[in-house]
Amino acid sequence: MKDKINRSLVIVLVAITLTALEGISYIGQRILVGKGIFYQPLSEDSIREAYRYKPDPRLGWPSPERFGTGDFDHSGSRVIPSFPDPEQESCVSTYGDSYTWGTDVTAEFAWSNVLSKMLDCRVSNFGVGGYGTDQAYLRFKYNDRDKAKIVLLGYTSENLVRNVIQFYDFLYPVLAFSLKPRFILENGALKLVAFPQLSAEEYRTMTLDPGKFLRYDYLLPGGPAGTVRAGFPFTLSLLKSLGNYRIQAQLRGESFWADFYRAEHPSEALKITTLIMQSFDRDAKAAGKTLIVIMFPWTNDLREYQKHRSWIYQPLIDDLRSKGIDVLNIGDGMAKHLGKRSPCDLNFGCVASHLNQEGNEVTARLITDYLKDRNLFPR
């Protein structure tokens, strides 16, 4: 009788322990979904929001239906308060992601508008939040409204990861509609994998079984990056996630995109990014334009530079300069401006945040000085 009671007690204790472990693992999984370590299909509300506007057939977002509304003027540029007429000829145009757009500051304080004031001419801002270099290049390629002779391509240090995905939700689950085109390598050259044009019902099916639609996405759940599909059993899923590229980077004490800068990385992100920028530079020259790549560091990139005097994205800078592409590393000027101050002082936060008003002002001044030093504008 005593043995039966002991066995029952052991069974109860094991059941309680496993239940508690599953509960803790479930909470951990919920947290890690937001970090891009676990993938969870979109909710019905997110799917409806995704098709609130008709997607751009080449780029995914922003929808052309939004041009002329909110912060977009009729040309598709961000509103430039100092030179608000989109029909006015621009001296400079910009492409890139949210750092180029100037997320988290109003249009007045975005560096594109501050740069317009410093140069005394319109700087059209065609940056888009969430963009990879691939989308920025394609937006330039198809933008017949852009007549500027100087083109600035903004690049943030983790953008090369965006260049090897087709679904932004695998990287940051924040955008309602986040399908995108990407380039792959075929016989050493770029080949475009076009934007997957899906109906709302097909989009819903894609979110449930992305492997059937997105075979070229490096972050595809179950793929080499270690992205895991959220689900039961939660403890087992959590153990599987230990191989995720973000967790491995955290264990090494580095940014999750650092490993992608290795020339031998299986994603080939560095080579693909270099070739995209080469194509951008070639097309700009063919149109009689001058391309300058603007390298933006994240706060942790600046912290690492202050400690070790090296940039995480230096391999890309070296590749581009070896191919004759003009590069301005904003990080150098920011580090000099900061001195011993924290990089957080130029941003709204200390982790994965955007430039604040001071950061945008510094960026505009550094670009102005560079353009004038290059004799592209008179002093």
Strand partners of residue 167: 179
pLDDT surpasses 80 at 239: no
CATH class of 5-373: alpha beta
Contact 41, 207 (CB under 8 A): yes
The 3-state DSSP class for residue 128 equals coil
Q: Could you tell me whether strands 182-186 and 189-193 are parallel, antiparallel, or unpaired per DSSP bridges?
A: antiparallel
Is the distance from CB of 104 to CB of 76 less than 8 angstroms?
A: no
> How is the chain split into domains, by residue range?
5-373
- What digits encode the pLDDT tens for the residues 278-333? 999 999 999 999 999 999 999 999 999 999 999 999 999 999 999 999 999 999 99
Distance CA(104)–CA(358), nearest Å, equals 12
Residues 50-82: tens digit of each pLDDT: 888 999 999 999 999 999 999 999 999 999 999
Q: Across the chain, what does the average pLDDT equal?
A: 91
Which alpha helices (H) appear in the chain, and where do they start and end? 2-33, 44-50, 98-101, 111-119, 133-141, 159-162, 200-208, 234-240, 245-252, 269-286, 299-308, 314-322, 330-338, 357-373
In angstroms, the CA 70 to CA 250 distance is: 38
The string of pLDDT tens digits covering residues 10-49 is 666 666 765 676 677 667 666 777 677 888 888 888 888 8
- When mean pLDDT is compared across 226-240, 250-264, 314-328, the lowest value belongs to 226-240
Say which DSSP state 60 is in.
B
Residues facing residue 156 across a β-bridge: 296
Beta bridge partners of 295: 155, 329
Question: Whole-angstrom Cα distance, residue 91 to residue 115?
Answer: 11
Q: What is the C-alpha to C-alpha distance for residues 307 and 295, in angstroms, rounded to an integer?
A: 19
Contact by Cβ (8 Å): 130, 100: no
Where is pLDDT greater, at 130 or 38? 130
How is residue 209 annotated by DSSP?
A: -
Model confidence over 346-375: pLDDT tens digits?
999 888 789 999 999 999 999 999 999 999
DSSP 8-state symbol, 185: E
**Alpha carbon distance 182, 214 (integer Å):** 11
Residue 17 pLDDT: 63
Cis amide leading into 221 (omega within 30): no
At residue 305, the pLDDT reads 96
- CA 62 from centroid of its chain's CA atoms: 15
DSSP 241: G
CB 379 within 8 A of CB 372: yes
pLDDT tens, position by position, 89-120: 999 999 999 999 999 999 999 999 999 999 99
Condensed to tens digits (0 to 9), the pLDDT of residues 142-179 reads 999 999 999 999 999 999 999 999 999 999 887 667 89
- H/E run at residue 192: strand 189-193
